A and B are shown apart, each in its own frame.
Chain A
Amino acid sequence: MIRPSRNHPGFWAFVAHRVSGVALALFLPLHFLALGLALESDAALDRFLSAADNPVFKIAEWGLVVLLTVHLCAGLRVMALEFLPWRDSRKGLIGLGAVTAVAVGAIFLLRVG
């Protein structure tokens, strides 16, 4: 149950920022290991890339791209609130970030399809 006192856009922006951050941090070592396959040979990297060329991996990739956009937008919002001379919470920035993430996700799906 989400407490009523939490249920406002600023809290949800924080949740999105935190969840995306943790997910990206956990993914990062795997990303580095996959690219490291090129040390072995070009063919090793190609074998991985073709193994990854299936719907499950594509959905995971799509998720990571969306999470990266979410984390970027949420982080820019926090820094704007911290470093720009605004006294209100600029909730419009949260909507803008959400729209950006949806748009990037949609472009990814259109191009991959």
Chain B
Amino acid sequence: METILAAFALILDPQVLWVILASAFFGMFVGSMPGLSATMATALLVPVTFFMGPVPAIAAIVTTTAMAIFAGDIPGCFLRIPGTPASAAYTDEAYMMTRQGKGEMALGAALVFSVIGGVFGTIVLMSFAPALADFALRFSSFEYFWMALLGLTCAVIISPQSQLKGIVSLILGLMISCIGIGVATGYPRFTFGYFELTGGVPLIPALVGMFAVSEILRYVVAPRLAAPPVQTRLGNIFTGQLGLIRTYRKGLLRGSVIGTLIGAMPGAGADIAAWVSYATSKKFSRQPEKFGTGHVEGIVEAGAANNAALGGAWIPALVFGIPGDSITAIAIGVLFMKGVNPGPTIFMNNPELLYAVFLSFILANLLMLPVGWLAIKSAGRLLSVRREILMPIILLFCIVGAFATNNTVFGVTTMLVMGVIAYLLEENGFPVAPIILGLVLGSMVEENFISSMQKADGSILGFFSRPIAGTLGAVTVLIWLSPLLLWLWRRRRAAGASA
């Protein structure tokens, strides 16, 4: 109890509060700018944290990332541009809702459930960090391989129309992810001797191109056909959110749990958490046919998951100094610089500091409600802008965002090329979301497959020889075979009934 009081004293310091407030606005801004991700926001903060004590430094990072992950939903909702990769899973859904005049509900859900997910992740972090970190540390490449395959399976689930076309898109994404220097072999592939391509196709420009540029192209080709948005003003975003919590309480809990766990896995963060929980949401929904048509259920679950993942990622980071995602990788560096060494001893040596960090998580998530409301309010004016004025401005923002990721024109080229590809694909009924998923997971699948095969001396049985890997493998194979098994079972039952 004394430590908690001491932690409160640390966090209620006016300087800390001021830092948290400033970081909140900074995070909102960066997150809602397409092309600027939460990771980049954290990296930009690092030089500023040189001049802060450990508590404000960590509070700044925590607040900024929480805000940025939520804020990524705002341009997704209005403009179909995911502000950060963590919003990509449900950008289409949110955009569809806005076009149907349900923008306030989509944004309200994104905000409210981000807050709940974020708080949930923090509570798990506070209560179970050492045990969960121990579990996460048992994952080797075998386990990661199955996890990545499970992630790829999501692509098929989330494809709105034809599952076959979803698989084609996914494979296209996986093939794009092969470009660049192979992680396992260290040899350049499909680079045509061009040095920019040795780094592979950058994710964020591809993301912006596939969602936003393709939308702009659709408008350019048929400005009349692209229906004007029904909505020109946003209503109260908090209307009906309590009802949503009640209706989707199971999904909310599932999203928060999945998000925290995926976040706790080193190497997988908020992006993957959002994809997976969007897919589980659809899989377990009573109305899976409504997904992809402007249905809020997936936003509830995935919106909670990506913010829960932020807390989860701190679990291995604080306990073992192993980053749970790219953000905590930076945060660990900051902790070291402040003389706070992550490790099990942090719970004994600096408990009040640790609790101060936890409190800053909670404070940041609660602050998200008013700041997020402000951000949505001011962004809502976009709705009343005429589309022929808005579209060129969006393109301008896309170009700036694609350039900013790596400060190179190559990013802009990538974005434009991907935009044209996505436009052609979507015109022919191929969904773009699976391509992004393939890009995100491609190297993870490949790298873990090859290193597992090396470890098992080429024996495929290695993938089943460890308890966790065996279980994950069995589950994955069962999910793949489930349509076939169900079909066989129904046929037998039908045969039994007729006999």
> Do A and B interact with each other, yes or no?
no
